[in-house]
Amino acid sequence: MIRVSIVGGTGYTGVELLRLLAVHPEVEIAAITSRGESGRAVADLFPNLRGHLDLQFSEPDPGRLNESDVVFFATPHGVAQSMVPDLYDRGVKIIDLSADFRIQNIAVWEQWYGQPHGCPELVSEAVYGLPEVNRDNIRSARLIACPGCYPTSILLGFLPLLAKGLVAMDDLIANAASAASGAGRGASVNNLHTEISDSFKAYGVEGHRHLPEMEQELASMAGEPVQLTFVPHLLPVIRGIHATLYATLLDNDVDLQALYERYYADEPFVDVLPAASYPQTRSVRGANICRIGVARPQQRHKAVVMSIIDNLVKGASGQAIQNMNLLFGLPETCGLLTPPLLP
Amino acid sequence: MIRVSIVGGTGYTGVELLRLLAVHPEVEIAAITSRGESGRAVADLFPNLRGHLDLQFSEPDPGRLNESDVVFFATPHGVAQSMVPDLYDRGVKIIDLSADFRIQNIAVWEQWYGQPHGCPELVSEAVYGLPEVNRDNIRSARLIACPGCYPTSILLGFLPLLAKGLVAMDDLIANAASAASGAGRGASVNNLHTEISDSFKAYGVEGHRHLPEMEQELASMAGEPVQLTFVPHLLPVIRGIHATLYATLLDNDVDLQALYERYYADEPFVDVLPAASYPQTRSVRGANICRIGVARPQQRHKAVVMSIIDNLVKGASGQAIQNMNLLFGLPETCGLLTPPLLP
Amino acid sequence: MIRVSIVGGTGYTGVELLRLLAVHPEVEIAAITSRGESGRAVADLFPNLRGHLDLQFSEPDPGRLNESDVVFFATPHGVAQSMVPDLYDRGVKIIDLSADFRIQNIAVWEQWYGQPHGCPELVSEAVYGLPEVNRDNIRSARLIACPGCYPTSILLGFLPLLAKGLVAMDDLIANAASAASGAGRGASVNNLHTEISDSFKAYGVEGHRHLPEMEQELASMAGEPVQLTFVPHLLPVIRGIHATLYATLLDNDVDLQALYERYYADEPFVDVLPAASYPQTRSVRGANICRIGVARPQQRHKAVVMSIIDNLVKGASGQAIQNMNLLFGLPETCGLLTPPLLP
Amino acid sequence: MIRVSIVGGTGYTGVELLRLLAVHPEVEIAAITSRGESGRAVADLFPNLRGHLDLQFSEPDPGRLNESDVVFFATPHGVAQSMVPDLYDRGVKIIDLSADFRIQNIAVWEQWYGQPHGCPELVSEAVYGLPEVNRDNIRSARLIACPGCYPTSILLGFLPLLAKGLVAMDDLIANAASAASGAGRGASVNNLHTEISDSFKAYGVEGHRHLPEMEQELASMAGEPVQLTFVPHLLPVIRGIHATLYATLLDNDVDLQALYERYYADEPFVDVLPAASYPQTRSVRGANICRIGVARPQQRHKAVVMSIIDNLVKGASGQAIQNMNLLFGLPETCGLLTPPLLP
């Protein structure tokens, strides 16, 4: 059994890690930490877990974390940077769900996150935890930087086009919409039911922190710099990200459907829909899967790709466990094959 | 492996049976029938099942159904009545999720459902499939009439009070609210998103078909006739039933909290919340569990019980599988222990 | 023109007062105060008002408020108590939407609100602002205590039965459900979209602050003490209260439909639906109207009344303006006749 | 008073016309027709109108319609084509909310709508009813083809850029999302609450009927052919359209904010938000207004425009009344200035 600890367990990625790990056959949960809720039963805060987990939140105790095989960070940015070095030195594997180690250029990170990086020396050690791109590196990693939720859906959506060099790299557009859970579980007027439900809006149009992360990874896929216009929107739904991607085809003869089906034929967690099918976010609710549909409207020069995930699963906690499975030599799908909930 | 067939698989209880059975370790799905969708891949109609089930809808073929160990009916009322006799005679176990065999008094059934009963001779053979009340009878049954969704939540909520004779039997009130999935997957103006969302209403106040079923079972629990005032409401949610029950205590000294905790101490699928806690429907989303909270406001003479279920799981398909587990000597919880999805 | 000021304008009753007063033909808005948002344009906080109101939030300045003809308090409890005496002495009319002057028994107020009453000397001067009950007193009042949102729907629902003495007064039940806007616009984890949407729950079952207010007014209607069991629930909708009321009829021969139609025949803001019709909350969205349906299920001894309002309009700001119209001798319906928004 | 009749009043644009016309000071509603609901009180079908309209649906009677000053068609496509000629000949003004007269090229209409055009001779007489573009022509029109809901938001969003020739005309993108009411009030499994709520998807990616209408009008604005990539999505909300538009700037020095503010300075129903503000659909709920925000992310070459409307008001019935006001020489804003409903 893998001994797992979770730092920062009171947010939505925390409860989602617990929901998935509670039924993972190879995992034992050693500790889940929270300064604010220390001593409180997890099932008291998250009533879905009543009867499934007999565990209390505890203070983050380095001694105890050090005895884990792997520590997940489900914390706001900045926290992992301060705690990772000690764990790293002691050989504990680290899977960071926050943004702390995603961006290789320290200056870029500091600019977008508005604070000095607390652990620049380990950034180059971190492996970007998108298995469909970095599977081999993940297997041997010691520190994994899990992708953000928007990046997961957008990178998987663009990957075949960019890897094959089929589109204009300076004119990529990602029009994406996220569920409210993407904004986290913090108290906030903007995220009240009364403010969000029955409405829709764009936000962060001038610049969203996931942009530099995406341009870094897209450039790596393309083998050249890219320009991405990224406009995120807020959906009145609980879970789900829907990315609608636009790219200008260099060659109008490409068969998008065949390209995507072939590219992802062996991926357990990427599902290319049949031609003329488009994914709906509820079809991945609660599951670690990215579903993709492709189109070329009016047979013109624009490729349109629709890519969806559950932001809390393939966009966060499920993908983190997928990474853990790779790290520990388990089948990649272990504990991650429950069907989505529909309706 | 138990060979399972499902008759009428295009509704929400059908897809929910498939979702749960797809990961049930002791089950093999032989057939799922639908006249309207015959030949169509199940995963085409229900995209959550893509990759989890490689199955097509088929015409209901008695010969094929006869080879099953058990047949689930997820059909409108009237259908099971016509198909059950043949299956019953051949020794196939039947688990009927419809109302066809729930009411023992044929005349009452015919009055509320407005048509002649098609199979009155088997009604007395049918066991009412509420395991918390009829567990032993279920184990040896050949035909199980699964309770309706409202009845499951309301009967489990009232059970300790009635079984112990603690309340006035002629003054029971069940104020209940159901998710829209309770109305099924049929095309209907009244169930459009635009008609239901951001609204709330009572319906069927003059009389709802679940009333006679509930009065029958409540009387059986109480050992005397009961009068139930039942007012159902429609919630703008996808899944969930919330029943708020009112009963007049005969003895004000009863400790409701202790009563309920003791009564349900050994039940795997009934969870009595701690004192002063009240259940929320999302805490059972997707799971086969009934959560109950009790209160006595202002320490007066009214007992108030809040009882919730996921109408598609403990209120339908999950409970049907719980019955199947009992029928076939499996652990009652087999395949039914996935934690609810929250948020 | 009536010079109106609003104290505490950043909550939902504040913006709703502004929405309604912006098109009221006899009103001029002099000031809207907010310590936190002073200097900010109202339309910046509430984008629906862009182009309709050219007004900024200002510090609450007693000198300026004193120049108003009427001051609305849309504040948390406790605030009006400290500011009312000075306004009262100067002859400014006061319409308080908070709970500060609703309960005549000071000790009861202090017990339920957990603080000393700041202005006990004016409580007996306050008129409970439910026009359907107190119309004449309101016309000559100097200080109006507007009813809470639950009380408005529940009192209007019970009124004909109690005024006519037709039911058992010690066994009233109000099972009510409120929109999320009833919880206000404060930052709170419990009221996040992710916590509320697609779910339903009871809350405050042990005791809700609207209970003593309702028992006071129900007793006044009945002419004797009453006992009310009140269970509030939280709906995943933006606006609306739905109260389902239960009372035991003393005489089974009463014609509920005729009783209600006759009782409210002349009321402009109470609409009794035709027999066998039940109200849905969306049918009053944005409008100052209470719609009521009545039933006697199975012709038994329980009267069931369904009463709905928009909690922000007839349950708060609209009713406050209805009171203002009465206070200033305007037609009671002035500015309040816009049809509800459906769908 | 203008005598108004409405053909086809049982859909959402029908009830919305009624809601707005019921309080329009210059209008008298003569008739509202429906074959299916003939004889039924309008307020029975649309309970929000109880107390506001004493009117019954009637059979469409040409004689009676001929006595109207203006007839609105709120019908599926094809219906107006058959009834308009007779009304037109008798001098009755016609405001068609359907697609029947929007597309000038008959062959294109027939291709997209899959049927022969029933009245090709009047197509060139029809004026496209977007007042911000065609105000003068509308004033003297006899037959007005109201724009679709998507086109209204998208055309107003692109207009300043195209009219000024500032962008590449062969690379326009409209990523738009519509409320469920855009799909109408017909019974349909796809539009059930259970199918739509808590989900999001693209649809009609291969080709949506609003595309040719938009390319026609955009070309007219640009003075040259355009290519538009249009991807509509379905939002789990009741009302609202949000269009996110992308265009490649020919000149990076343009000040988008100033351009839009100046262009729409005198328009009563187009509101350009302050810099770095983005519109949310709820801010126009129930009101005849288009709100627009503009951005140039990372100061690159893409203009991003966010344009929102209430699809039933500025996208349909409100705009139809705006056209009526122009037709009859009333102030353009007459009856259309009620503030949006928020929250």
* pLDDT tens, position by position, A157-183: 999 999 999 999 999 999 999 999 999
**Which residue in A242, A297, A245, A293 sits closest to A272, CA to CA?**
A293
Neighbours of C135 (CB within 10 A): 14
Task: Provide the terminal-to-terminal Cα distance of chain B, rounded to the nearest Å.
Answer: 34
**Does D12 touch chain C if contact means CB atoms closer than 8 Å?**
yes
* All partners of chain A with 3 or more CB pairs under 8 angstroms: B, C, D
Name chain D contacts of C287, Cβ cutoff 8 Å.
48
Facing residue for D339 by CB, picked from C49, C312, C337:
C49
Query: Domain B150-310, what architecture?
Result: 2-Layer Sandwich (3.30)
- pLDDT at residue C248, as a whole number: 98
**Could you tell me the maximum CA-CA distance found in chain D, to the nearest angstrom?**
62
Backbone phi, then psi, for D47, in 5-degree steps? Answer: -65, -15
pLDDT over 90 (residue A258): yes
Beta-strand runs (E) in D181-282: 201-202, 228-234, 241-248, 270-272
pLDDT of D252: 86
Domain ranges across chain D: 2-125, 150-311
Amino acid found at C232: P
Q: Which subunits count as partners of chain B given 3+ CB pairs below 8 Å?
A: A, C, D
pLDDT for res C252: 86
How many cross-chain Cβ pairs, B to D, lie less than 8 Å apart?
62
Distance of CA C1 to the CA centre of its chain: 25
DSSP A265: T
Contact criterion met (CB < 8 Å) for B193 and D189: no
CB proximity B47 to D under 8 Å: no
- Sheet containing B201-202: order of strands: B201-202, B228-234, B172-178, B241-248, B302-309, B290-295, B270-272
Contact C200 B175 (CB under 8 A): no
**What tens digit of pLDDT does each residue of B187-199 get?**
999 999 999 999 9
Burial of D125 per CB tally in 10 Å (0-12, 13-18, 19+): middle
Please state whether beta strands A241-248 and A302-309 pair in parallel, antiparallel, or not at all (unpaired): antiparallel
> In chain A, which residue's Cα lies nearest the Cα of D205?
A297
Output the pLDDT for position C63: 86
From C181, which residue of chain B is nearest by alpha-carbon distance? Answer: B198
Taking only residues 285 to 304 of chain B, the set having a beta carbon closer than 8 angstroms to any beta carbon of chain C reads 285, 293, 295, 297-298, 300, 302, 304
Can you tell me the distance from the alpha carbon of D184 to that of D326, in angstroms, rounded to the nearest whole number?
A: 27
**Rounded to whole angstroms, how far apart are CA atoms B295 and C175?**
14
CA distances from B64 to B30, B37, B71, C92, D308 (A): 8, 17, 11, 83, 55
Q: Could you say which of C173, C198, C235 has the minimum Cβ distance to residue B282?
A: C198
| Nearest-CA distance B12 → chain D (Å) | 10
Burial (CB < 10 A; 0-12, 13-18, 19+), residue A39, is: exposed
CB pairs under 8 A between C and D: 87
pLDDT at B63 (0 to 100)? 86
Q: How confident is the model at residue A252 (pLDDT cuts 50, 70, 90)?
A: confident
CA angle C281, C286, C289 (to 5 degrees): 65
CA angle in degrees (0–180, nearest 5) for A252-A254-A258: 150
* Chain D residues inside the 8 Å CB shell of C342: 15, 19, 46-48
Query: pLDDT at position C44, please?
Result: 96
Nearest to B271 among A22, A51, A340 (CB): A51
B123: which residues sit within 8 A by CB, 6+ positions away?
B101, B103, B104, B106, B109, B117
Residue with tokens 């222990």: B337
Mean pLDDT of A42-67: 94
Helix and strand counts by DSSP (H, E) for chain A: 11, 14
Joined together, the tokens standing for residue B191 give 């169930």
> B249 has which bridge partners?
B167
Residue range D70-79: mean pLDDT, rounded: 96
> A280, D199: Cβ pair inside 8 Å?
yes
pLDDT of residue D335 exceeding 90, the answer is: yes
pTM equals: 0.97
pLDDT of A112 above 90: yes
CATH top-level class for C150-311? Answer: alpha beta
Instruction: Express each pLDDT in B151-206 by its tens digit.
Output: 999 999 999 999 999 999 999 999 999 999 999 999 999 999 999 999 999 999 99
Q: What is the three-class DSSP state of D95? A: strand
**Chain D adjacent subunits, 3+ CB pairs under 8 A:** A, B, C
Q: Do D198 and B238 touch (CB under 8 A)?
A: yes
Give yes or no for residue D113 having a pLDDT over 90. Answer: yes
Whether ipTM tops 0.95, in short, is yes
**A contacts of B282 (beta carbons < 8 Å):** 48
Band of pLDDT at residue B62, cut at 50, 70 and 90: confident
**D119, D149, D290, D334: which one is catalytic?**
D149
In one letter, which amino acid is B265?
A: A
| β-strand pairing of B241-248 with B172-178 | antiparallel
B93/B73 Cα distance (integer angstroms): 11
pLDDT tens sequence for chain C (343 residues): 999 999 999 999 999 999 999 999 999 999 999 999 999 999 999 999 999 999 999 999 888 899 999 999 999 999 999 999 999 999 999 999 999 999 999 999 999 999 999 999 999 999 999 999 999 999 999 999 999 999 999 999 999 999 999 999 999 999 999 999 999 999 999 999 999 999 999 999 999 999 999 999 999 999 999 999 999 999 999 999 999 999 999 998 999 999 999 999 999 999 999 999 999 999 999 999 999 999 999 999 999 999 999 999 999 999 999 999 999 999 999 999 999 999 9
- The number of beta carbons lying within 10 Å of the beta carbon of residue D41 is 16
Please state the φ and ψ torsions of residue A289, each to the nearest 5 degrees. Answer: -150, 145
What distance in Å separates residue D86's CA from the closest CA in chain A? Answer: 38
Residue C189 has its nearest CB partner, among A185, A195, A238, at A185
Shortest Cα–Cα distance, D251 to chain C (Å) = 31
Please state, rounded to an integer, the average pLDDT across all residues of chain D: 97
**Which residue in the block uniquely carries the two structure tokens 């109108």?**
D49
Angle at A237 between CA A72 and CA D179, to 5 degrees: 155
Per the rule left: phi > 0, alpha: psi between -120 and 50, beta: everything else, D306 is beta
- Alpha carbons D289 and D67: distance in angstroms, whole number: 31
Residues of B in contact with D192 (CB under 8 A): 180, 185, 187-188, 191-193
Which residue of B48, B191, B291, B337 to mutate against A (max A Cβ within 10 Å)? B48
Tell me the per-residue pLDDT of D119-140, one tens digit each, with 9 for 90 and over: 999 999 999 999 999 999 999 9
Distance from CA of B195 to the nearest CA of D (A): 8
Q: For the residues of B178-234, what is the DSSP string, one character each?
A: E-GGGG-SS--GGGBHHHHTT--EE--TT--THHHHHHHHHHHHHTS---EEEEEEE
**CA–CA min distance D131, chain B (Å):** 29
- Catalytic positions of B, please? 149
Q: C15 and chain A: CB distance < 8 Å anywhere?
A: no
Residues of A within 8 A of D189 (CB-CB) are none
DSSP letter (8 states) at residue B126: P
Q: Which of residues 201-230 of C touch D (CB under 8 A)?
A: none
Pairing of strands D2-7, D27-33: parallel
In chain B, what percentage of residues exceed pLDDT 70? 100
Q: Does residue B206 contact residue C297 with C-beta atoms inside 8 Å?
A: yes
What local confidence, expressed as pLDDT, does residue C311 receive? 98
What is the structure's pLDDT at D325? 98
Q: C187 vs A185: CB contact, 8 Å cut-off?
A: no
Q: From C186, C161, C182, C273, select the one nearest C232 (Cα to Cα).
A: C182
Strand partners, B99: none
Residue type, C162: L
Nearest Cα to Cα of residue A251 among A311, A303, A183: A303
**Residues B68, B28: Cα–Cα separation, whole Å:** 10
- Closest chain D C-alpha to C219 CA, distance in angstroms: 31
Minimal CA separation from B195 to chain C, in Å: 7
Nearest CB among D48, D284, D339 relative to C283 is that of D48
With an 8 Å Cβ cutoff, are D298 and A201 in contact? no
Confidence of residue D63 (pLDDT cuts 50, 70, 90): confident
Mark yes or no for CB contact D342/C280 under 8 Å: no
B44 part of contact set with chain D, CB < 8 Å:
no
Single out the residue of A328, B228, A204, B173 nearest to residue C174, CA to CA. Answer: B173
Q: If you measure CA to CA, which chain B residue comes closest to C171?
A: B302
Tell me the mean pLDDT in the region B221-242.
98
The pLDDT value given to residue A63: 86
CA distance C246 to C167: 10
Q: Do A192 and C198 touch (CB under 8 A)?
A: no
Nearest of C238, C190, C182, C171 to residue C208 by alpha carbon: C182
For residue A73, the model assigns a pLDDT of: 98
CB contact under 8 A, D194 and B191: yes
Superfamily classification of domain B2-125: NAD(P)-binding Rossmann-like Domain (3.40.50.720)
Distance from CA of A166 to the nearest CA of C (A): 39
Cite the active site residues of C. Answer: 149
